A and B are shown apart, each in its own frame.
Chain A
Amino acid sequence: MEALIQQVVAGLANGGIYASMGLALVMIYQSTHHINFAQGEMAMFSTFIAWALLQAGWPYWGAFGATVLISFAGGLAIQRIILKPVEKAPVLTNVIVFIGLLVIFNSLAGWIFDHTIKPFPSPFPKFTGAGKLISGHDLGSIAVMLVVLALLYSFLRFTPAGLAMRAAAQNPESARLVGIRVSWMLGVGWGLSAAIGAVAGMMVAPVVYLDPNMMGGILLYGFAAALLGGIDNPWGAVIGGFIVGVLENLLGAYVIGTELKLTVALVLIVTFLTIKPNGLFGKAVVTRV
């Protein structure tokens, strides 16, 4: 029984990471109707930036905060400079541009920071009172994830800017008619996404160690989380992330073995997309003609 609980708890910890990636993906999807394939590599690159700051002697939370801000600015810049010209282009063009970004970030990280695997520190104490069930880092990272989610939710739900972002995402034409600068809203969406990704990267790096290919599998799970929850539903992405995390661990421990984890992700993704493309919680928007 204890083993089962351990697996579930570990799954929840992973799930927190997947949830944040899923959330970042949903944010961009909501505002642009595009899936950011470069999300993982951007998060990885942000984590390298944090690592570089730490190497330069910055305190952890200072580096953390700076990285989040830099990532926000970076995401905003990418949307304004690289994505704006292809905003109206067909899906294939956008997918190709995203893949291009993926590849550039991956190779830039390798170029600037080289390919050796590096340790990344965790800001949380080693142990918690719950004994061996859950590590300090796992608990801490779940907490951080929840804080991020709460902040994001409050921003979108209760602030005028958040409302404007939602409006711009849903109906850019009408948003312009009320004076919203839609292009900038898209940029902010990308910025927020990049920031969330950075947090996810910094939470996962202590566990899997930092190297340019760190985020590949995690991105896939982030996708699965977003799809499970409904690609246009931030809450869904979070819940989906935790479900995917637990499922991955349970299936890995008791059914399939840890070697085929990515295959599990593949099957999950294809299944969701085929059977329930709106996910568990996705809304079909009601409109009257």
Chain B
Amino acid sequence: MTGTSATVVPRAGLPKPVILALALAGLALIFIAPFLVKNYRVFQFNLVLIYAVAILGLNILTGYNGQISLGHSAFYAIGAYCAAILMDRYEWAYWATIAPAAVICFGVGALMGFPALRLGGHYLALATLALALATPQLLKYKKIEGLTGGVQGIVLNKPDPPFTFELFGSALNQDRWLYFMSLALTLVMFLIAWNLLRGRVGRALIAIRDHPVAAAAMGVNLPVYKSLAFGVSAAFTGVAGAMGAVVVAFVAPDSFSSFLSITFLVGVVVGGLGSISGAIFGAVFIQFVPNIADHISKSAPWAIYGVFLIVFMYVMPGGVAALAHKLLQRMKSAS
């Protein structure tokens, strides 16, 4: 060190080795966690991972591309029923149902994209809300009961893990195995999203959201991008739905009401519109808040959702992700 003055100004950021250690510890925790807690918790973790993907899907459309959708429960339902029907009626393996769910939902989403082209803002919100409200009724329709199981839905079997394993006295059972499956799926989906959104596609989507006329004038093909955005968004949420069906081992029309759409919206808002990492925060929120709030009253979770929606719009439009980002900046910068 050079012979400078005696006082050394400490850097306000954390030194690199500490950050690395923390990251490794976090990673280890993620792998060990399911063995440290009871089954039911693992089940909740699984749902968090799945909801994260669903919320990510909605975020692609609404956060990045500015197309408001209150209808994502429909895509989740389609994905879930896809997986359930393939597994139950056609004896497909659970992991094989993900791809068809993605494809079908992509198709339906892209189709929704066409009327959506002419609809802006609240009209689109309205049309998608109509879709969400109509979905449970459609699923209960007597004429397709043979396929969908009608009001009772379809009961599935949770898949068994392919090998035995034990850690900290807990066995690798169905829920824990599904945890790792969900984790893998979630990582893959997040990677796809990150890749998609950081390049030309992402910029085009954001341009369409912020200045559609300018974007079109600069050669961005609006109809194509907007429909694609819808399709991709639906596919993500459909994949989540399919995995959800596997994890919950049950699908029924009333699980997929318009309130599920609103739940996803809450997840997007709390996590952060236009943020990929935010989807995790949002998923944690929508999974655990009802658990806690349920103790107060049956209606409390939804009242809290409503209040959070409004308050976040006033105070934290960027969601938790924006807040976390700010904190991270502060940790990194020197004082």
Contacts and interface: CB of A to CB of B under 8 A. Distances in A.
B184 interface: no
Interface in A182-237: 216-217, 220, 223, 227
A277 B129 CA distance: 17
Most interface-central of B114, B134, B307 (chain A CB within 10 A): B134
B303 A260 contact: no
Contacts of B68: 91-92, 95
B181 interface: no
Contacts of A43: none
Interface string B111-127: 00011001111110111
Interface in B286-308: 297-303, 305-308
A239 B309 CA distance: 35
B62 interface: yes
A107 B294 CA distance: 12
A213 to B, nearest CB: 9
A2 interface: no
Contact of B314 (A86, A110, A274): A86
A100 interface: yes
Interface string A245-275: 0000000000000011111011001100110
A86 B301 CA distance: 24
Contacts of B127: 266, 269-270, 273
B317 interface: yes
A159 interface: no
A96 B309 contact: yes
14 contacts: A35-B126, A85-B314, A93-B317, A100-B308, A100-B313, A103-B306, A110-B299, A115-B298, A217-B133, A260-B138, A262-B137, A269-B127, A269-B130, A270-B130
Given A99-B306, A104-B306, A111-B300, 13 more contacts: A101-B310, A102-B306, A103-B305, A104-B302, A217-B133, A220-B129, A223-B126, A259-B137, A259-B141, A262-B133, A266-B131, A266-B133, A274-B118
Centre residue among B140, B141, B142, B302 by max chain A CB count within 10 A: B302
A99 B309 contact: yes
A34 B121 CA distance: 9
A82 interface: yes
A219 B124 CA distance: 16
Given A111-B297, A266-B131, A273 B138 contact: no
Interface of B: 62, 66, 68, 70, 114-115, 118-123, 125-127, 129-131, 133-134, 137-138, 140-142, 258, 262, 265, 269, 273, 297-303, 305-310, 313-314, 317
A107 B137 contact: no
A37 interface: yes
Size band of the A side of the interface? 35 or more
Given A35-B122, A91-B122, A104-B306, A260 B141 contact: yes
A89 interface: yes
Contact of B306 (A35, A86, A100, A262): A100
A67 interface: no
A105 B306 CA distance: 9
A223 B130 contact: yes
A90 to B, nearest CB: 8
Interface of A: 34-35, 37, 82, 85-86, 89, 91-97, 99-108, 110-111, 115, 216-217, 220, 223, 227, 259-263, 265-266, 269-270, 273-274, 277
B125 A95 contact: yes
Given A223-B126, A259-B140, A108 B299 contact: yes
A37 B129 contact: yes
A108 B303 contact: yes
Contact of A107 (B258, B265, B303): B303
A85 B310 CA distance: 11
Contacts of A35: 122-123, 125-126
A104 B309 CA distance: 10
B303 A95 contact: no
Contact of B122 (A95, A216, A270): A95
A272 to B, nearest CB: 10
Nearest to A269: B130
Contacts of B62: 92
Contacts of A82: 310
A154 B277 CA distance: 54
B265 A96 contact: yes
Contacts of B130: 220, 223, 262, 265-266, 269-270
